[in-house]
């Protein structure tokens, strides 16, 4: 099933490389949140293996949209003297994403699979959409 996710990621990465991605880099995380979230919600509802693979491909499509946009935004809006530090903090934050597996596992055992998917997608959407809505500079980026 990881292969299906990788197919979506690879297809999007090639497309971004060929087209240059979004002109407005702030749209990348918004598009990722929508595509990834919808794919993951559909995956959480799916009870068919082949349909689940399709939803994982859709979920994978969103991941490069976020990564490429956020890295570009960080590099474009950081002072050159601090660029190494900014990217180091970004790398540390990405590596610490697995810390969310502990509360995720607790929620899986407590409330079940699909409600846990809804909690995680709701949290992610809140972060992305609130930041986008509250930052005029981000919307212009």
Instruction: Domain count for the chain, please give it.
Output: 1
Q: How many CA atoms lie within 13 A of 7 on its CB side?
A: 10
Q: Which of 15, 6, 2, 129 is nearest to 68 (CA)?
A: 15
Residue 112 sits at φ, ψ, to 5 deg, of: 105, 175
C-beta separation of 141 from 73 below 8 A: yes
Q: How does pLDDT run across 118-139, given as a tens digit for each residue?
A: 999 999 999 999 989 998 888 8
Question: What tens digit of pLDDT does each residue of 59-113 get?
Answer: 999 999 988 888 988 998 899 999 999 999 999 988 888 888 899 999 999 999 9
**Residue-number span of the structural domain to which 70 is assigned:** 2-140
């Amino acid at each position: 099933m990881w292969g299906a996710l990788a197919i979506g990621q690879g297809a999007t990465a090639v497309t971004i490389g060929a087209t240059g991605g979004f002109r407005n880099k702030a749209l990348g995380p918004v598009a990722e949140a929508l595509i990834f979230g919808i794919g993951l919600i559909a995956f959480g509802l799916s009870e068919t293996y082949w349909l689940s693979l399709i939803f994982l491909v859709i979920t994978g499509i969103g991941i490069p949209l976020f990564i490429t946009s956020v890295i570009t935004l960080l590099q474009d809006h950081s002072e050159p003297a601090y660029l190494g530090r900014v990217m180091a903090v970004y790398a540390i934050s990405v590596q610490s994403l697995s810390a969310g597996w502990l509360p995720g596992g607790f929620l899986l055992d407590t409330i079940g699979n699909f409600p846990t998917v809804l909690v995680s997608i709701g949290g992610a959407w809140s972060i992305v959409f609130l930041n986008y809505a509250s930052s005029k500079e981000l919307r212009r980026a």
